[in-house]
Amino acid sequence: MPGRRTDKRTSLHDAIAAHVRDGDTVSLEGFTHLIPTAAGHEIIRQGRRDLTVVRMTADIVVDQMLAAGCVRKLVSSFVGNSSAGSLGNLRGRIERGVPAPLEYEEYSHYGMICRYLAGAQRLPFYPLRSYAGSDLPSVNPGIRKVASPFPGPDGGTEHIYVVPPVHPDVTIVHAQRADRAGNAQLWGLTGVQAEAVFAAERAVVVVEEIVADEVVRSDPNRTLIPAHAVDAVVECPRGAHPSFAQGYYDRDNTFYRSWSAISADPRRLREWLTEWVYGTREHAEYVAKLGGDVRDRLAVGDALSAPVNYGRRL
Amino acid sequence: MPGRRTDKRTSLHDAIAAHVRDGDTVSLEGFTHLIPTAAGHEIIRQGRRDLTVVRMTADIVVDQMLAAGCVRKLVSSFVGNSSAGSLGNLRGRIERGVPAPLEYEEYSHYGMICRYLAGAQRLPFYPLRSYAGSDLPSVNPGIRKVASPFPGPDGGTEHIYVVPPVHPDVTIVHAQRADRAGNAQLWGLTGVQAEAVFAAERAVVVVEEIVADEVVRSDPNRTLIPAHAVDAVVECPRGAHPSFAQGYYDRDNTFYRSWSAISADPRRLREWLTEWVYGTREHAEYVAKLGGDVRDRLAVGDALSAPVNYGRRL
Amino acid sequence: MAPVTSSELVSVVAARELADTGTVFAGIGLPTLAASLAQHTVAPDLEVVYESGVCGAHPDGLPETIADAVLVTGAEAVLDMPTLFGSVLQGGHIDVGFLGAAQIDRWGNLNSSVIGDWHAPRVRLPGPGGATEVMAGADAVFVVMRRHDPRSFVDELDFCTSPGPDRALADGVRPAGRGVTRVITDLGVLSRDGVGQELTLTALRRGVSVERVRAATGWPLRVAADPATLADPTDAELATLRTAIDPERVYLR
Amino acid sequence: MAPVTSSELVSVVAARELADTGTVFAGIGLPTLAASLAQHTVAPDLEVVYESGVCGAHPDGLPETIADAVLVTGAEAVLDMPTLFGSVLQGGHIDVGFLGAAQIDRWGNLNSSVIGDWHAPRVRLPGPGGATEVMAGADAVFVVMRRHDPRSFVDELDFCTSPGPDRALADGVRPAGRGVTRVITDLGVLSRDGVGQELTLTALRRGVSVERVRAATGWPLRVAADPATLADPTDAELATLRTAIDPERVYLR
C-alpha cells in the first residue's frame, strides 16, 4: 500500500464517484458541528441507491438523502432536526412507510460511539454500561450481553451490554483544514469523526481549506486524522452549511427552523432538492446561490488560540 | 461535591501529603515525555511505604522509589532505563529478591492502556487483540479470555482477551500548563495521562506553569484533563527532569546514560538519593543544584504553533 | 415584577435543587437556564458539561443548541465524544444529569423513542440521544417537564428508552447511579432517592392541590406526609433569569 | 568507501525490504535507520509511525528515543496512546512493524521478558513494551538482530512475550496479521509468509555459508532451494546512511 503520504487532493465529484458505491454502508459524522452536507448533496446528485447510512444524529442532510431515494437503511441514535423540529421524510417513512419503508436500527449516542470504537480498534464488540433494563435490545439484536470474567464488587458475576463494530465501506467527514496528504485538523467540537474514519474501509475528508504542509506540522497534536487513514481530501469551503465550522462561519439557525415546514410537505421538499441540489452543479454554486446576505449573517469574528511552543533543538 | 472549579493550587509537599497514603495504588504516567519525577522524589522524601506503583514504563524514577523502600508492588509493561541500560535496584529485587522481593505484574503497553481505559470508563474489563498464544496470561491472572456474543467472520465463536480496570487511589501526571482549577493542557506526546487521571480516585497534576484562565480558555481543545477530574494542581518548573517537557526543556540524555552505573551499585544509588532527594528540601533546590550548565544544555528554541480561530459571534 | 410563568418557576426550582452540586450535564432550554441561575446563586462553582463535549463553558450569549459555537469559544475544555461519554459521564464525573422525555413512569424510567409500537409507531420521536447514558452514568437525574399531564406521566411506558436502576437490576446488571431523583413540573416536585423507591409528590406549586397533581398523573401517585409548598421565586432570581440569562425570552416562553 | 559494517548491511537489507510499504512502525536504532534509508531510496512516501504517538515525523536530527522531542516538532500528527495502539496499530493501519527480541523461535515467536523462569528469572529483561501489540496488529513484522547466534535463535523460548499467529490459532484466537515475515541478521535473511510456515533461510550475506547460519541457529533450520546472495550496499546507499542519516554513527556502530 504505497503512497500513504502522496497528494490525495481531488474534487468532491470525483471523491464521491470513486468512493461511494450503490449499496455501500456510508458513515457521515459531525455532531451539530462540521456536518458533511456538501458530500451528502453530491451523493444525491450522483443518484446513489440502497445506501446504509450510519450517523449519530440523523438530521437535515439525512432527511434530504432519504427524500432523494438514496437510502435503504439508517443506523442512528437521534432522528430529529436538532431542537428545531421534525424530519418530514424520515417520519413519513418510519411511521407510515411513505413513500417507502425505511429499515431503522436504533442505538443511543454512546452505543453508536462504541460501535465506531470497536470498528476502529478491530474489536468483535465494545462494552458499555447503557441498555440494562432498556427496551432497545428487544428491537435491536445488535445489543447483547456478556458476562465479565472478573468477579464484581460483591463477588458475583457481573454482566454488561456490548455492541458490535461498525465498519463503513466509506466514512465522510468535514474538517477545518488538512494538508494535501490528508492530515486533517479539527477544533471546537470534534465528536467521533476520527473514530469513524479509523473504522472505515475508505475515508474522504472534506475541508474548509487545504493548507501548506508547514501549517499542519506547526501543530501536530491538532491532527486528529492522520494521512494514512485518508483516501481523498477535498477542499470545499462552506461545505458544512447549514451547520457550522468553528472559526469559519456560524450555524444557519434560520435554515434549521425553516426545514420542518419544507420537509413536512413532500412537494416543497422535492422543489427544494430540485432547486438547491439537482439545480446546482457543485457546492460552489450552492454557496453562490445562498448569497452574500446569508454569508454575512453567518460571519464570525476572530478569537485566536494562544500559541504553544513545540521547541526546537539548539 | 461542590467546588469543582475552585482554586486547587497547592505545593508539591502538601499535594503528596494530602493525596498519597501508605499502601496506596499510585499511578505515575508520562511516556518518556513529562515524567512526574519531582512528585516521585517528594514521595520518597515523605517516606511513603507499601505503595503499588502503576506505570507503563518503569524507568529511573521507579528505580529510585524502589531503592528508597516505598514500593511493595509494581504493575508495568516495560522495566528498563529506556534504551540507555538497566535499572539496578529493580533487577536486583526481581532477579535475586535483594534487598527485598518485589511483587511484579507484567502487561504489554496496550494491556496497560486498556486497563486505564477500563478504569476511566468504569468498565469491568476491556478487550484487546493481544495475548493470544502468549505466556503472559500464565503468569498474570489479570489477563483472561471472553467469548464474543457475535459470530466471527467464519460464523464460529470468536474469543478475545480482556484486562481488568485499574482504579488508582491517586494518579499523578506532569503537564505543561494548567489554570488554577486544574484544567490541564499538554502537547507533544500526551501518552495515556488523561485516561490515568480519569481512572483514579484522586488526581494531582504537576505543571511547568500555572497560567491565567484566559490562556487555557483561548484553546479549549488543548485541555486534555478537565478540572472536574483534578484534586490538586502544583506549579513545579522542571519537575519532569531528567525527562523532557516539549517546548520547555529537552531530555537529559547524559543523566539517563549515567543511571545504569549509579543504580548498579547499591552504595552509589544510596548516595545519589541522599544527595539529590533527601538532601534537597524541595524540587526547586534540586533544580538549583543541577546548575546553569545543565539548564543551558537542555534549553530549547522556539517552534510556535500556528494559531487557530475559535471565532466570536458578531 | 411581571407574574411568574411556569418556565420561570421550573427553572428557579431546578436551580435551587443544584445547591451542593459540582457538575451538571445539561441540555438546552430550561436545564441551561437552571444551571446558569444556580451559578449566579446557590452553586457559583458549578461546572456545566454538555454532551457535545464542552466542559466549563463561558458563553458570550445564550446558546441555541448544546453544540453552539458560543459554548466552545472561551470554554475550559472541549473533549471528543468518546472521552465525554466514556470517561466523564460513564466514568462517574457527573453529579446531576438533566433529562426530558415524552413519557415517564413511577420509577423514573423514560421513553423518548416512540408513541405506540416501536415497529409501527404512531409517532416516531427523536430517540435516545445521550439520555440512556445520562441515566446510566450520572449519580442523579433531574427531569424537567413543562407540562404535568397523564399523557406524559404514564402507568406504563410505550417503550423504555432510558431505564432507571430498578429496571437495570431486574435485567441482572448493577447500576451505577440512582436514576431520577427529582421531577420538576409546572405543578410541583416529585422525588425519589434511588433503587426501590417510587416517585413521591414532595412539593406543590402555590395554589396547586394534591388532587390536581394526582389527576395529572397516570398512576396512583404517592404523596409525602406533608408536602411542602414551593417558595415563590425571589425578585433577585427573577431579575437574574430575565435580565442576565435569557433577556430575549428564548426559553422563558 | 570504508568497508561495510554489519549494522550498515542490516540497515540496507531492511530498507530494501520496505519497497512497496506504506506505513512502518519503527523502534529506535537500526529500524529507524532502515526506514529513513527507505524514504531516501525505495519508498519515498513511506510513513514512519512510532509507538510514542508520532506519525510522519520530520526530525531535525537523529532521534535518541522513540519519544525524542525532535520527532514531535514538525511531525504530521501526534496521537495519544489509546488512539495509536487501538485505532492505528490494532486497527490495521500498519503494514510492517519492526521488532527486536532476546529470543526468537522457528515460528517467529519472540521473548523479551526473561531469561530463565519468569518467577525467578536469571535475567529480567525490559519486557513486552508494545511488541506484543506490534505482533498482533501489524500486517507483517520484520525482526532485526545484530548478531545471529544460538542464544537468540532458540529451539524453545524461555517465555513467549509476543506470539505469532500460529500460537494465537492454537489458543483459539483468529490472528490479524502474518507475524514475522523477515528476520534480518548479520548473516543473512530468514523468511516466512504467514500461518503454518517456519522461518526459512532465503538469503546469505556474501561470504557466509549455509552451514555457518545453521550452526548459529538453535533449531534445524530450513533452507530455501537456492538461497540468494545479498547484493552489496551500493555507494549511494552507504553515502546516504553515513552522511545524511547517521553521520555521528550513533547507531551505525
Q: For residue D88, list chain A residues with Cβ-Cβ distance below 8 A.
A: 198, 226, 228-229
CB distance from C100 to chain A under 8 Å? no
pLDDT band at A5 (very low <50, low <70, confident <90, very high): low
How far is the C-alpha of B220 from the C-alpha of B310, rounded, in Å?
Answer: 9
Q: Is D176 on the interface with A (CB under 8 A)?
A: yes
The pLDDT tens digits for A114-143 are 999 999 999 999 999 999 999 999 999 999
What are the structural domain ranges in chain B?
12-107+167-297, 125-163
Q: Looking at the complex, does the CB of residue A249 fall below 8 Å from at least one CB of chain C?
A: no
pLDDT by residue (tens digit) across B244-279? 999 999 999 999 999 999 999 999 999 999 999 999
pLDDT at site B101: 92
Rounded percentage of chain C residues whose pLDDT exceeds 90: 88
**Lowest-confidence pick of D63-77, D134-148, D210-224:** D63-77
**A81 part of contact set with chain B, CB < 8 Å:** no
Average pLDDT over residues C22-42: 91
Rg of chain A in Å (alpha carbons): 20
Cβ contact (<8 Å) for D127 and B106?
yes
Closest partner CB to C80 (pick from A136, A161, A190)? A190
Q: What is the mean pLDDT of residues A241-251?
A: 98
Instruction: Give the pLDDT score at B3.
Output: 45
d(CA A114, CA A119): 8
Residues 6 or more apart whose CB falls under 8 angstroms from that of D225 comprise none
Per DSSP bridges, beta strands C103-104 and C110-111 are: antiparallel
The confidence score (pLDDT) of residue B4 equals: 60
Query: Which three cell numbers mark A121?
Result: 480498534
The three three-digit cell numbers of residue A237, written as one number: 469551503
Q: In this predicted structure, what is the pLDDT of residue C237?
A: 96
| D78 → closest Cβ in A181, A220, A228 | A220
For chain C, say whether B228 makes contact (Cβ under 8 Å). Answer: yes
pLDDT of residue D65 exceeding 90: no
User: Is B132 close to D136, i.e. CB distance below 8 A?
Assistant: yes
| Closest-CA residue to C129 (of A76, A114, A74) | A76
- CB contacts, 8 Å: A307 with chain B: 304-307
Q: Does B219 touch chain C (CB under 8 A)?
A: no
A124, A128, A304: residue with CB nearest B148: A124
Which residues on D lie below 8 Å from A311 (Cβ)? 69, 73
From chain A, pick out residues whose CB is under 8 angstroms from the CB of D49.
228
Mean pLDDT of A189-197: 98
Q: For B155-172, how does the pLDDT look when each residue is reduced to its tens digit (9 = 90+)?
A: 999 999 999 999 999 999
**Chain A touched by B188 (CB under 8 Å):** yes
Window 142-171 of D: residues touching B by CB (8 A cutoff) are: 157, 159-164, 166-171
- Give the span between the Cα atoms of A87 and C83, in whole angstroms: 29
Q: Closest Cα of chain B to C153: distance in Å?
A: 31
C51 is catalytic: yes
8 Å CB contact of C85 and A83: no
Smallest CA–CA distance, residue C58 to chain B, in Å, is 9
pLDDT digits (tens, 9 = 90+) for A34-65: 999 999 999 999 999 999 999 999 999 999 99
> Helix axis angle, B60-67 relative to B266-273, nearest 10°?
90
Distance CA A221, CA A305 (A): 14
Q: Cβ distance D141 to D148 under 8 Å?
A: no
Confidence of residue C57 (pLDDT cuts 50, 70, 90): very high
- Quote the CA–CA distance of A248 and A298 in Å, as a whole number: 9
Which CA distances in Å does C187 have to C4, C146, C242, D195, D205? 13, 9, 21, 70, 88
The pLDDT of residue A267: 96
Nearest of D44, D54, D69 to residue D240 by alpha carbon: D44
pLDDT in tens, D165-194: 999 999 999 999 999 999 999 999 999 999
**Residue whose grid cell is 517528594:** B42
Flag if B130 and D109 touch (Cβ within 8 Å): no
Q: What percent of chain A has pLDDT over 70?
A: 98
What per-residue confidence (pLDDT) applies to C227? 97
Say if the Cβ atoms of A308 and B305 lie within 8 Å. Answer: yes
Which residue among C47, C51, C133, C237 is the active-site one?
C51
**Fold exhibited by the domain D6-245:** Glutaconate Coenzyme A-transferase (3.40.1080)
Give residue C248's pLDDT. Answer: 86
Interface residue B163 vs chain C (CB under 8 A): no
pLDDT of residue C64: 83
DSSP string, A171-215: EEEEEEEE-TT--EE--S--TTHHHHHHHSSEEEEEEEEE--HHH
| DSSP H or E segment with residue A147 | strand A144-151
Q: Where are the domains of chain C?
A: 6-245
For residue B49, give the amino acid letter.
Answer: R
With cut-offs at 50, 70 and 90, classify the pLDDT of residue C253: confident
Count of C-beta atoms within a 10 Å radius of residue A291? 10
Angstroms from B150 CA to nearest CA on chain A: 7
E-strand ranges in chain B read 25-28, 51-54, 57-58, 71-76, 78-79, 103-106, 126-128, 144-151, 157-163, 170-178, 184-185, 202-210, 223-225, 232-235, 300-301, 312-313
A154-179 pLDDT, tens digit per residue, is 899 999 999 999 999 999 999 999 99
Residues 6+ apart with CB under 8 A from D231: none
The whole-number average pLDDT for the span C16-30 is: 91
A250 chain-B contacts, CB cut-off 8 A: 311, 313
Rounded Cα distance between A249 and A274, Å, is 25
Distance in angstroms (rounded) separating the CA atoms of residues A42 and A278:
9
Task: Give the pLDDT mean for C147-165.
Answer: 97
Q: Which residues of B touch C73 (CB under 8 A)?
A: 310-312
Q: Is the pLDDT of residue D15 over 50?
A: yes
Which amino acid appears at position A152 of this protein? G
From residue A175, how far is each of A203, D19, D53 by CA, in Å? 13, 32, 21
- Quick one: closest CA in C to B167, which residue? C91
- Using the predicted structure, report yes or no on whether residue A1 has a pLDDT greater than 60: no
The highest-level CATH class for domain B12-107+167-297 is alpha beta
Interface test with B, best of A209, A296, A305, A312 (most B CBs within 10 A): A305
d(CA D36, CA C167): 58
Does C62 contact B at CB distance below 8 Å? no
Residues of B in contact with D167 (CB under 8 A): 132-134
Candidates B130, B190, B249, B304: best to mutate against A (most CBs of A within 10 A) is B304
Q: Which of D28, D132, D139, D180 should we substitute to test contact with B (largest number of B Cβ atoms within 10 Å)?
A: D132
- Over the stretch D96-121, which tens digit does the pLDDT of each residue have? 999 999 999 999 999 999 999 999 99
Contact status, residue D139 vs residue D88, Cβ threshold 8 Å: no
| pLDDT score at D252 | 85
Name residue, grid cell 417513512: A93
Nearest to B251 among D69, D120, D121 (CB): D69
Q: Is the ipTM of this complex over 0.90?
A: yes
∠ CA B133-B134-B140, nearest 5°, is 125
pLDDT at D60: 83
Residue B5 has what pLDDT? 67
Average pLDDT rounded to a whole number, residues A272-287: 98
Q: Taking CB atoms and an 8 Å limit, are A189 and C130 in contact across chains? A: no
Q: How confident is the model at residue D2 (pLDDT cuts 50, 70, 90)?
A: confident
Among residues D51, D133, D211, D248, the one annotated as catalytic is D51
> Mean pLDDT, to the nearest integer, of A97-105?
92
Q: Do C127 and A133 touch (CB under 8 A)?
A: no
Residue A4: its pLDDT value, please?
60
% of chain D beyond a pLDDT of 90: 88
* A281/chain C closest Cα distance in angstroms: 30
Q: Any chain B CB within 8 A of the CB of D95? A: no
Q: What is the pLDDT along chain B (314 residues), one digit of tens a residue?
A: 334 668 999 999 999 999 999 999 999 999 999 999 999 999 999 999 999 999 999 999 999 999 999 999 999 999 998 777 789 999 999 999 988 899 999 999 999 999 999 999 999 999 999 999 999 999 999 999 999 999 998 899 999 999 999 999 999 999 999 999 999 999 999 999 999 999 999 999 999 999 999 999 999 999 999 999 999 999 999 999 999 999 999 999 999 999 999 999 999 999 999 999 999 999 999 999 999 999 999 999 999 999 999 999 99
